[in-house]
Each structure stands twice: as C-alpha cells, then as structure tokens.
Structure 1
Amino acid sequence: MSRTLTLLTLLVFFSSVSSAEPAAKPEVVTNTLGMKLVKIAAGEFTMGSPESEEGHTDVEVQRKVRITRPFYLGQHEVTVGQFRKFVTETGYRTTLEREEKPGFGFDAELGAIEILPKFTWKNTGFGTDEHPVVNLSWDDAQAFCKWLSEKEKQTYQLPTEAQWEYACRAGTKTRYSTGESEESLLGFANLSDAAFQAKYANATWSGEWNDGHAFSAPVGSLKPNAWGLYDMHGNAWEWCSDWYASDYHKVSPVDDPAGPKTGEKHIVRGGAFTNRLRFVRSADRNANKPGYRYNFTGFRVVKVME
C-alpha cells in the first residue's frame, strides 16, 4: 500500500465504510456484570475463503454452514475490569500465575514486546480496565464462562469457530467484513500500524496508516461491523471453544459445526494489534494449546438462548 492514499483509494474506503455501517440498530442486552451482548439471528453463510483471496491458506476450505439457533454474542471483548471482578469474587489464579510462566507485554525501557515474568493479565505495560484482557489461556476463559454462568443463572460459553466467523462476517463474503481492500479497515480495526511501529521499531510489517492506538484500544473505541460487534478484526486474539484440525472441513456438519471431539490445540480468531493484515481476515484460522498464554489473546462470550 502506498504511503499516500490516492483519491481512488479514498473513494473505495468511504464506500466500504458506508456499506459496513449497521443497517439496523442491533438488539443489545446488558447483564449484571455490565457486559453488552448482541442478539445474532440464525442463518446460513459460506465459511472459509476462496483460493483467490490474498492471504488464503489450505485450512480455509469453503463450505456451507447453517447456524440453526440465535445466540447472544459479547458486543466487545471481555475487559480487564470484567475479568478483575471474576478474580476478586473467586480468588482465581490464571495459568500464568499458577505455573509462574512469563507473559507478553511491552517493556518501555527496551522499547519492545517481550515475554517476561512481570507480564500477566494485570500488567501488559499498557492499558486500563477498559482494554481487552489478555495473557489468558483457553482454560482461563473457560473458568470465567463457568463463573459467569453460575452468577447469571444463564449458560455462557466461548463461541464456536462457526459462530465467531458468522458474526464477524455479518452477512459479507469479502476478505474483511468491511470489504476487500485493506483501506476498508480504517476506522474499524486496531492492528499493527504506524502508531505501533513508533513504539516498537522492530514491527517492520506494520501498515502505513495510523489507527490512533499504539497497543490495544479500549473496547468499542473503533467502529462496529454491520451487526453491531466491535473489534472482530484486531485488538486482541479471541479463543473459540473448538479443538483445531486442519482438515475439519472434510467431516464438518452443515448445521452448527462445533469442531473435532478431541485435539491438541484450540482455535483463536481475529488477530491482534500486533498483527499484519493477513491475520485479521474474516476467514483466518489460528490455534494454540489450551494452557498456553498466547500472544495478546483474550476472548468474548456467548450467552446461549434457552
């Protein structure tokens, strides 16, 4: 992408922005924790990406998927403050804290992203209680969902990978929910950009625009997708409930696929503020072991409709 956006590029950008704006006000509910959840209607979509898509990989084989039941999905990623309430009530200690493993964070003295013992969900070198909570394992996210289910007397869980991509796409078939072009993400996605590289000089893969956030952004800082969901592209990686298999598409049911029954890794989706454009595509798939404190990974929750 050129350093100066051309008039044509700007026209494409503004066209993409208008098409990505919500067509109707989403139905949003708020739970006792203050979390906002958007009602996602049942529907059908094409999961995965075409081979012609820039960034496409062999694990993104396209297939038809039906989401047969509506569900509520967190409008935002779970925040540090919300996770703090869980820890305060239960005394929960995360995988990092129990195993005394180092976490990811920004060391201002070194001017670099580092993996150090001082970095946990409580300390990443940046951010506030309104930022997405990160440095969490899949097990930590599951523990939060279990606590929230008991607290709310409702079933909360991580989204399936199919639910996540369906909600991320918000009715689109393009590379991003905002359109095909990288410029269409301007104003919608917090990813590796000039602001990040200004703080972390080694991030030579960064895009040339400035989204206004060097690191993660407070949730809801940017624009939502057409279904009223924020930060589906970038900000923080998000754990899904599914085990990962590169060839799951071969056995995946059309209706409500929930991933393999077993595996070694769980799905993470959406990319983070540290990532280049390829990793924030709607179809991009990544995974890691459930106990690993993955690079700036958090989560958002599903509330099951009874």
Structure 2
Amino acid sequence: MRLSWTIVSLLFAASFLSNNVLTAADNAVPQATTEAAMKPYAQPIAQTEAAIDMVPIPGGTFKMGSPESEAGRNADEGPQHEVRIDPFWMGKCEITWNQYEIWGEKIDIARRKIFGSPATPNDELADAVTRPTPPYTDMSFSMGKQKHPAICMTQHAARMYCKWLSVKTGQYYRLPTEAEWEYACRAGTTTAYSFGDDVSKLDEYAWYEANSDEGYHEVGQKKPNAWGLHDMHGNVSEWTLDQYVPDTYANRKSGVRNPLVVPSKLFPRVVRGGGWDDSATLLRSAVREGSDEDWKQQDPQIPQSIWYHTDALSVGFRIVRPLKAPSDEEKATLWDKTAPEQLDPVVE
C-alpha cells in the first residue's frame, strides 16, 4: 500500500484519537421520503473525522440557458428552455483534498490497520472499488490541500470517488447533471449570476481572475447563494455527468425532466462554474465549458493516465444525492453509464 510520509506521520500522530474514529453505524444520515422532510446533514466517512456537508435542493422548473440579451452570452447557452428537476441534496462546498484523499490515498484502510478496526461489510465493498494510481506530481501544485478543493482529476476519477463514497456510506452519491448544476447555482434566479446582474458584487461570492492571487482558496470563504451553496461561481470549475454537445439546447424539448447527455466519448465533457483563473464573464450561471485533451498536455505517462488532468488546475467537483434513489436499471442506463470504458494499462 502506498502512502506519503506526510500522511503516515499524520496517521500515527492522530492514533490517540482511536476512540473517536467513526464506525459503520456513524454512516447513518437522516432519511427522508418527501421533499418537505429533507434537511441539511453532514455525511461522515467511517474511519476518519471527515464529513461532507449536504444541502437540500427543492424540486422545480427553471429556464436553462441565458437570454440573448445577457452580456457575454455564448451561442451554446441557448435557446433557453424549461427544464424540470427532481429534489436532491448537493454538497455545500466543493470536495476538498482532505475528503478526496481518503479514497485516493487509501487513508480509511490505513486507519483501520492502525487502530485494529475490523472492516464492515460496507468497507469491504468500498475497498473493492478501483482507486487511482499514484500521482506523478503534486496535483495541488503547492496551492494548498486540506480544506482547499481537490483538483486535476478526470471526470472518471470524480465518478469513481462517488461510487466509492456510495458503497462506503450506503447512500447513493453521484456527480450532478449539467441541468441540476445550473438549477442549483441559480437558486431561483434568472439573472447572470445567482446574486443578480451587478458584476461589481462578484468579489463577495467568488474567487476568480481578479481576486484569487493566482490560486484557489479554502472552500466556503465567500457568501453562499440563496440555497446555501458556496463557490458555485469560481474557485474551481466543477464536473457534471454530461457529454458536452454545443447544440444540446437546440435539440432538447422544452419541459424535459432531469435531462442528461450520457457520455459516449472521452472529450469533451461538461464542467460548470468557472475557476480561480477565469474572467468574471466565464463565471455566469449559464456558462458551459467542455473538457479538452490539452488538459493532459504535461502528462508524461504513456499511455496517459485515466485519473489525472495535470493541466486542469482549476477543475474539481461537488456531489449530489437524489431524494429518490435510482433503481439498478436506472443507474446502468443513465446516471452511472459512460463510455468508453476506462482501465489502467496492464503492467507486465
């Protein structure tokens, strides 16, 4: 098992906390069968002190895209069309390094060994989920870890984190669809940003090119939108489930429910929200961006990694949990479906 010396030292330094380590029972979160019963909660991760804050997002309809009159509008943001969204919970903030590396660095497994804790049935399922190969450089690029947003992962890596978290916790987590993301970002607004059209207020809500000092920042430092979500504008762009297709909106019927463009090729796939290195215009609620092969430009591996986008220093993700958990068939045909299959090369 591979662990950095920094992580090993932290694990042993924290060994006296063994009485406080979360057990399988602590994975339980408040359940709801109706939208009215949905409440904010924190999803603990067993064998660690980490938890992911989740915020309820009410179901409803909204106009997806931007009007032709919106300043800075791109052609792929139209035509506007009505979309219906079912209720879900969404991460209050972007997934941070201290939440992401539990999976990526196998910290949960290491802590079980240190504390002599037996694996639960959920642990055994989670341990079987594929984890990334060791990174070939510091993927934070010295901008900070811990409460800073995790970056430089492929969409595949973000999806596998969600799969691991789902079996680890017994709750179904995934990436948001592009429609869910915009709906949650807007939080009931129809303006360019979730706080209105006045770009002079952007500093209060976002880290971006003008105020980021050339790097990302700890999550949750700026004002949230009306639904309690932080950093929906800026800090890092966020993966969604969808394939990026420029004319998606032109070919979509108005009134569609929970739309998703299931990925059928690696590039491009949709990220949303804009990052610390983007201009104010690119942080608008309706802006769409597709991933690019250039995001792997500095990857020295042959073949290039299925886990890392070395040049995507402002790309991360946040998670959602639908109120109604999908069936296995729905997972296979919609939410978990993606092609082509991603496999690590066989080392002979």
TM-score, normalising length from structure 1? Answer: 0.74
Give the superposition deviation at 1:304: 2.1
Change (3 A) 1:168 1:92: same
Moved >4 Å (runs of 4+): 289-292
Is contact 2:242-2:269 (8 Å) kept? yes
Farther off after superposition, 223-232 or 260-269: 260-269
Deviation string, structure 1 residues 15-66 (Cα, Å, up to 9, x no partner): xxxxxxxxxxx93111113101111111010110111111101100011111
Q: In 2, distance between residues paired with 1:76 and 1:252?
A: 30
Q: In 2, distance between residues paired with 1:227 and 1:298?
A: 20
The answer to which structure has the higher strand fraction is: 1
Deviation string, structure 1 residues 146-205 (Cα, Å, up to 9, x no partner): 100000111110000000000000000101111112112121111112552xxxxxxxxx
Change (3 A) 1:261 1:186: closer
Change (3 A) 1:195 1:40: closer
1:65 to 83, 91, 94: 83
Q: In 1, distance between residues paired with 2:87 and 2:211?
A: 39
Secondary structure (helix, strand or coil) at the match of 1:157 reads: coil
Q: Which has the higher contact order (CA 8 A, sep 6+)?
A: 1
Residue identity opposite 2:203 in structure 1: L
Secondary structure (helix, strand or coil) at the match of 1:232 reads: coil
Q: In 2, distance between residues paired with 1:251 and 1:48?
A: 13
Give the superposition deviation at 1:128: 2.7
Residue identity opposite 1:153 in structure 2: G
Q: In 2, distance between residues paired with 1:273 and 1:297?
A: 9
Residue in 2 aligned with 1:222?
222
Residue in 1 aligned with 2:66?
49
Deviation string, structure 1 residues 100-139 (Cα, Å, up to 9, x no partner): 5xxxxxxxxxxxxxxxxx341xx32121300000011101
Give the superposition deviation at 1:262: 2.7
Residue identity opposite 1:299 in structure 2: F
Is contact 2:263-2:269 (8 Å) kept? no
Change (3 A) 1:194 1:171: closer
Q: Does 1:127 align with 2:144?
A: yes
1:154 to 171, 181, 195: 171
Change (3 A) 1:194 1:235: closer
Change (3 A) 1:295 1:126: closer
Secondary structure (helix, strand or coil) at the match of 2:204 reads: coil
Secondary structure (helix, strand or coil) at the match of 1:187 reads: helix
Change (3 A) 1:85 1:282: same
Residue in 1 aligned with 2:244?
244
Residue identity opposite 2:318 in structure 1: R
Q: In 1, distance between residues paired with 2:263 and 2:103?
A: 29
Give the superposition deviation at 1:289: 4.9
Deviation string, structure 1 residues 65-116 (Cα, Å, up to 9, x no partner): 111x21111000000000111122458325x83xx5xxxxxxxxxxxxxxxx
Q: In 2, distance between residues paired with 1:281 and 1:236?
A: 13
Residue in 2 aligned with 1:113?
none
Is contact 2:43-2:53 (8 Å) kept? yes
* Structure 1 alignment gaps of length 5 or more: 1-25, 101-117, 197-213
Q: How does 1:259-298 map to 2 (within 5 A)?
A: 259-260=261-262, 262-263=264-265, 264-289=267-292, 291=306, 293=309, 294-298=312-316
Q: In 2, distance between residues paired with 1:39 and 1:236?
A: 22
Residue identity opposite 2:197 in structure 1: E
Q: In 1, distance between residues paired with 2:99 and 2:145?
A: 11
Residue in 1 aligned with 2:260?
258
Residue in 2 aligned with 1:302?
320
Q: How does 1:4-83 map to 2 (within 5 A)?
A: 27-33=39-45, 34-61=51-78, 62-67=80-85, 69-83=86-100
Q: In 1, distance between residues paired with 2:261 and 2:57?
A: 20
Q: In 2, distance between residues paired with 1:144 and 1:239?
A: 12
Change (3 A) 1:144 1:261: closer
Q: Does 1:86 align with 2:103?
A: yes
Q: In 2, distance between residues paired with 1:65 and 1:261?
A: 20
Secondary structure (helix, strand or coil) at the match of 1:146 reads: helix
Change (3 A) 1:170 1:134: same
Secondary structure (helix, strand or coil) at the match of 1:193 reads: coil
Q: In 2, distance between residues paired with 1:92 and 1:258?
A: 26
Deviation string, structure 1 residues 179-235 (Cα, Å, up to 9, x no partner): 112112121111112552xxxxxxxxxxxxxxxxx5211111111000000000000
Q: In 1, distance between residues paired with 2:262 and 2:157?
A: 21
Q: In 1, distance between residues paired with 2:286 and 2:318?
A: 18
Change (3 A) 1:268 1:50: same
Q: In 2, distance between residues paired with 1:182 and 1:119?
A: 34
Secondary structure (helix, strand or coil) at the match of 1:145 reads: helix
Larger Rg computed on CA atoms:
2
